[in-house]
Amino acid sequence: MVPVTDSKTFTPSTALPPFRSSALLTDKYELTMLQAALQDGTAHRDTAFEVFARRLPNERRYGVVAGTARVLRAIKDFVFTDEQLATLDFLDETTLEYLRNYRFSGQVDGYREGELYFPHSPIVTVRGSFAECVILETVVLSILNADSAVASAAARMVTAAGDRPIIEMGSRRTHEYAAVSATRAAYLAGFTSTSNLEAAKRYGIPAAGTAAHSWTLLHVHEDGSPNEEAAFRAQVDTLGVDTTLLVDTYDITRGVDTAIAVAGKELGGVRIDSGDLGVLAHQVRDQLDSLGAYNTRIVVSSDLDEFAIAGLAGSPVDAFGVGTSVVTGSGAPTAGMVYKLVEADGIPVAKRSRNKKSRGGAKKALRACRSTGTAVEEIVYPFRRDTPDTGTLTPYQLTVPLIRDGEIVDGLPTLDQSRDYLKGQLVTLPWEGLALSKDEPVIHTRFVGFDQ
C-alpha cells in the first residue's frame, strides 16, 4: 500500500472573533424533525451526513471549496440563547431542553479550504447523533454554497488575469455581510486586495481603492464648469503621487494629460471605468509613455468577468478591478451543494427518487496523481476502509479531520495558507482544466469499494 501523502504543514489558526450565535440560521423543519426524533427514539442514532454537489455550475471544469473555516466557527457558535429559545414556541419542552444544552460533540471531516472539488466529491462529512447533525444542515450549506460560489468564479478570473493583480470591489452589489465573506472567498482564490473595510479588519485582507466619479464631479470652477485638475490635485496632496486617479469622468485623453500634469511622471496609476477597455488601455499606455510616465499603472474596471479579463490578455493593463461578477459567482451565485444523510447506525442509506439519486455511506476521497504531480482522477471510497491501491499513481488524501469530539482540530490553515494551497492545487490540474470554455469536469470521480 502506497502511503497517503501527508497534509501540508499547518500553523495555528488565528484567534476567533467574539461569539455570535448561529443557531437560528436554521430551517424550521430541522427542529421539528428533531422533536419527532426525540419522541420516537431515533434522535440518538449514529449518523453521517455528507455535503456534496451533484454538478458544477455552467459546465465549469472544477470547483473551489471555500468557507470551511467559517463553517467550523458556525458549528462552535451553534448555541441557543434564552432569547432565541423563547421564539421557538412550536417546540415541546423536551426539545427546548435539548436545544438549551446543545453543543455539537461529533466529528467533522472534509476537504481542506481551497481544495478543488468535482461532482460528488464528499466535501464535508458530519458524524454524530441524528439530533446533533440534522440541525446543522442550513448553516453549513449557506456558508459553503455562498463562499464556494464566489471562490470558484474568482479562481477562473485569477487564472485569466495571469500575473496581474485583481482588486475585489463588489461589496455594493451583494448583501452587506455576504460582501464581507465574498471578499474573503475572492482573496482565497487569489485576488490581491479588496475595497471592503470590514473584510480588511476581520480577515486581514489588504484594502485598496482609487476614487469615485463623485470626487471629480464635486470639483468645479467658480463658474460651475468642471475642474478635474482640482480633484486630482487634492487626491495627490492627501494620498501621495502613488495614488490611482480616475481619468474617465469627462474626456479620457484630457483626464490623462491632467493627471500627469498634476502628479508628474511618478503617478502611481490611472483607472479607466468605462468604454472599450482594450482599445482605451492601448491609447492610454501610448499617451502615458509619450508623457514619460512609463511606470504609471493602468487599472481597468467596469463589469469585468473572467471572459472580459481574458479578452484583455494582450492589452497593456496592469491591474483589474472586479465587482459584480465575482460577488455573484459570475452566473452561478450558489454552488448548489446539498447535505444528505448517508449513513445511520453504520448502514448506508440513500434516497431513490428519480433524478436525485445519491450514494449511501460515509466517504473519504483521494486524488491519484502522476509523479509530475498532475492529478489523474479522484477516488471516493468508504470512510472506514483502507486507502485503495492506486497502482503507479501517488494517492493524495483529500479528507482531513476538521472537528474531533466537538472541538476544532488544532493547526488548521490560516486564510493565507489556504490561498497558497489553492494556488498549488490548481497547478495539479491537467492544463485544459484551466480553460474558461464549457466542458465536463476535468477530473473524473471514481467510486471504489461500494456495493451499490
Among 55, 100, 221, 351, indicate the residue that binds a second copy (CB under 8 A): 351
Binding pattern for the stretch 366-405 against a second copy, x by CB under 8 A and - elsewhere: ----------------------------------------
| Residue 299 near residue 210 (C-beta atoms within 8 A) | yes
Amino acid at 336: G
Q: How are beta strands 46-53 and 124-129 bridged, if at all?
A: antiparallel
Q: How far is the CB of 10 from a second copy (least distance, A)?
A: 25
State which of residues 177, 314, 391, 452 lies at the interface with a second copy (CB under 8 A). 177
Assess 445 for contact with a second copy (CB under 8 A): no
- Based on the shown chain and the rule CB under 8 A, indicate whether residue 222 belongs to the binding site for a second copy: no
Query: DSSP secondary-structure letter at 23?
Result: T
The CA distance from 37 to 49, in Å, is 16
How far is the C-alpha of 232 from the C-alpha of 79, rounded, in Å? 52
* Min separation Cβ 351 and a second copy, Å: 5
- From residue 55 to residue 74, what is the string marking binding to a second copy with x (rule CB under 8 A)? -------------------x
Interface with a second copy by CB under 8 A: which range of 103-111, 325-333, 367-375, 377-385? 325-333
Contact status: 16 vs a second copy (CB under 8 A)? no
Closer residue to a second copy (CB): 186 or 443: 186
* Count of chain residues binding a second copy (CB under 8 A): 103
Nearer to a second copy, 97 or 389 (CB): 97
Query: What DSSP letter does each residue of 318-386 carry, written as one string?
Result: -EEEE-HHHHTTTT-SS--EEEEEEEETTEE-----TT-----S-EEEEEEE-TTS-EEEEEEEETTSP
> Among residues 316 and 333, whose Cβ is nearest to a second copy?
333
Is position 452 an interface residue for a second copy (rule: CB under 8 A)?
Answer: no
String of b and e for 298-326 (b: at least 16 CB within 10 Å)? bbbbbebbbebbbebeeebbbbbbbbebb
Supply the minimum distance, in Å, between the C-beta of residue 287 and a second copy: 17
183 touches 337 (CB < 8 A): no
Angle at Cα 109 formed by Cα 105 and Cα 134, nearest 5°?
A: 50
Stretch 18-57: interaction string toward a second copy, x if CB under 8 A: ----x-xxxxxxxxxx-xxx-xx-x--x-x-x--------
In whole angstroms, the minimum distance from the beta carbon of 448 to a second copy comes to: 23
The residue to which cell 481574458 is assigned: 310
Rounded alpha-carbon distances, angstroms, from residue 178 to 68, 73, 87, 149, 171: 15, 16, 25, 12, 8
Pick the closest to residue 117 from 161, 183, 163, 52 (CA basis): 52
User: For a second copy, which is the closer residue by CB, 130 or 396?
Assistant: 130
Q: Given the complex with a second copy, which of 66 and 155 has the nearer CB atom?
A: 66
Nearer to a second copy by Cβ, of 86 and 427: the residue is: 86
User: Of the listed pieces 115-123, 138-146, 388-396, 431-439, which binds a second copy according to CB under 8 A?
Assistant: 138-146
The H or E element that residue 301 is part of is none
- Long-range CB contacts (within 8 A, 24+) of 418-421: 418/68, 418/69, 418/112, 418/113, 418/114, 418/188, 419/114, 419/187, 419/188, 419/189, 419/190, 421/8, 421/112, 421/113, 421/114, 421/115
Q: Which amino acid is at 276?
A: D
Q: In the complex with a second copy, which residue's Cβ is closer, 7 or 138?
A: 138
Cβ atoms of 413 and 13 within 8 Å: the answer is yes
Nearest approach, Cβ of residue 165 and a second copy (Å)? 15
Member of 340, 363, 367, 419 binding a second copy (CB under 8 A) = 340
Q: What angle do CA 66, 72, 77 make, to 5 degrees?
A: 130
> Cell triple for residue 233?
490635485
Annotate each residue in 255-294 with x if it binds a second copy (CB under 8 A) or - if it does not, as one string: ------------------xxx-------------------
Least distance (Å) between residue 373 CB and a second copy: 34
CB of 254 to a second copy, least distance (A): 11
Q: Which of residues 179-198 bind a second copy (CB under 8 A)?
A: 179-182, 195-198
Q: What grid cell was written down for 40? A: 420516537
Distances (CA, A) of 15 to 18, 71, 106, 203, 274: 9, 15, 22, 11, 42
Distance separating alpha carbons of residues 450 and 52, to the nearest angstrom: 17
Question: Which lies closer to a second copy via its Cβ, residue 247 or residue 443?
Answer: 247
Scanning 249-257, 287-295, 415-423, 441-449 for contacts with a second copy by CB under 8 A, the matching segment is 249-257
Q: Using CB under 8 A, which residues numbered 75 to 94 contact a second copy?
A: 84, 87-88, 90, 92
Q: Cβ closer to a second copy: 40 or 405?
A: 40
**Shorter beta-carbon distance to a second copy: residue 233 or 423:** 233
